Amino acid sequence: MKIPYVINLQKYSIHDGDGIRTTVFFKGCLLSCWWCHNPESQSYEQDLMVDEEKCTGCGSCVDICTNSSISLFKGRAKTNMKSCTLCFDCVDGCIYNNRHFVGKQFKIEELVKELEKDKQFYEDSQGGITLSGGEVMTQPMDYIEELIKKLKRKGYNVAIDTCGYAPTENFKRLLKYVDTFLYDVKVMNDEKHKKYMGKSNELILHNLKFISDNNGKINIRIPIIYPVNSDEESIDEIIDYLKKNIKVEKVNLLPYHNTGSSKYVKLQKEYRGKDFEAPTKERMEEIADKFRSNGFINIKIGG
């Protein structure tokens, strides 16, 4: 069985479903959203993150790199990721702990054991476990299905946080085990979706309707970003689609933030959302009121 990589186990999470939860962030996603808060989760393989701002230029990583991928430039170590083989020897060799590898594999039994450490919190708060990403629905399905089965046999509530861009067959396979889908909806305009997310939204909307038609519990999560989708037309299109097609339990309106932007430098990636802005509190309330006036009762600003 192929084992996926995990980038984080976030404990005491209160924004990824009901109650107190532990969220498992799997590594790998087929979308490339401009504002992605976890760029280290986009690749399905391990990554190297380097905090060059804290580098003292001691050269220990240069000496230890057997592939000559690290050199000193203006007093700081620079890594050529094109020639780096991700052996991670430099991580161990950095005496100032400025280098980190991202991605750890857990056998199912090991992961379940970690998740059970907080079972008292789940029980006391009617919480549970959320599988997120990256994109959990594009991970090895044998692993994910067996993990969920084990968690359900132990009586845990299981939610899946998904962007929806994954094979429909994977949703069919897991639907009967999942208590809640936390489902991202960004924009209805397909050209805009291709621009800002890198893919068409056709498959995403197809999978969303499939879950709804088969009585899955759906919490819609909408990141509100200026100028991507905070305008009247974009909001009206989302509301119109949901009203006509989807049985929605709850809507979370998530104001844009750029707290993950600093990670891009550490991965030698460009943050393309630098010109984005968070809508004002007044605008967020206007959007929430518009959802309510269209019959959506359970609306929350934030996670």
Residue 87: which CATH number? Answer: 3.30.70.20
Last residue within a domain, chosen from 61, 81, 102 = 102
- The reply to whether 119 and 198 lie within a common domain is yes
Residue 186: which CATH number? Answer: 3.20.20.70
- The reply to whether 95 and 108 lie within a common domain is no
Q: What is the DSSP string of 124-157?
A: HHT-EEEEESS-GGGS-HHHHHHHHHHHHHTT-E
Q: Beta strand 157-162 with 180-184: parallel, antiparallel or unpaired?
A: parallel
- The reply to whether 54 and 162 lie within a common domain is no
Whether 53 shows a pLDDT value over 90: the answer reads no
Q: Which pLDDT does position 93 carry in this prediction? A: 87
Region 257-263 average pLDDT: 91
H or E stretch covering 262: helix 262-266
- The reply to whether 229 and 184 lie within a common domain is yes
Whether 2 shows a pLDDT value over 90: the answer reads yes
What is the rounded end-to-end Cα distance, in angstroms, of the chain?
34
Last residue within a domain, chosen from 60, 80, 102 = 102
- The reply to whether 94 and 228 lie within a common domain is no
Last residue within a domain, chosen from 61, 78, 102 = 102
Q: Which pLDDT does position 52 carry in this prediction? A: 86
Whether 303 shows a pLDDT value over 90: the answer reads no
Q: Which pLDDT does position 60 carry in this prediction? A: 93
- The reply to whether 151 and 274 lie within a common domain is yes
Based on the structure, what is the number of domains in the chain?
Answer: 2
- The reply to whether 29 and 79 lie within a common domain is no
CA distances from 25 to 49, 265, 279 (A): 17, 21, 27
- The reply to whether 117 and 201 lie within a common domain is yes
Whether 180 shows a pLDDT value over 90: the answer reads yes
Token pair 């299905």 is found at: 145
Q: How confident is the model at residue 275 (pLDDT cuts 50, 70, 90)?
A: very high
- The reply to whether 139 and 184 lie within a common domain is yes
Q: Which pLDDT does position 68 carry in this prediction? A: 92
pLDDT 10s digits, 127-169: 999 999 999 999 999 999 999 999 999 999 999 999 999 999 9
- The reply to whether 62 and 85 lie within a common domain is yes
Gap between the Cα atoms of 209 and 239, Å rounded: 14
What proportion of the chain, given as a percentage, has pLDDT over 70?
Answer: 100
- The reply to whether 141 and 272 lie within a common domain is yes
Provide the domain limits for residue 69. Answer: 47-102
User: Residue 262: beta bridge partners?
Assistant: none
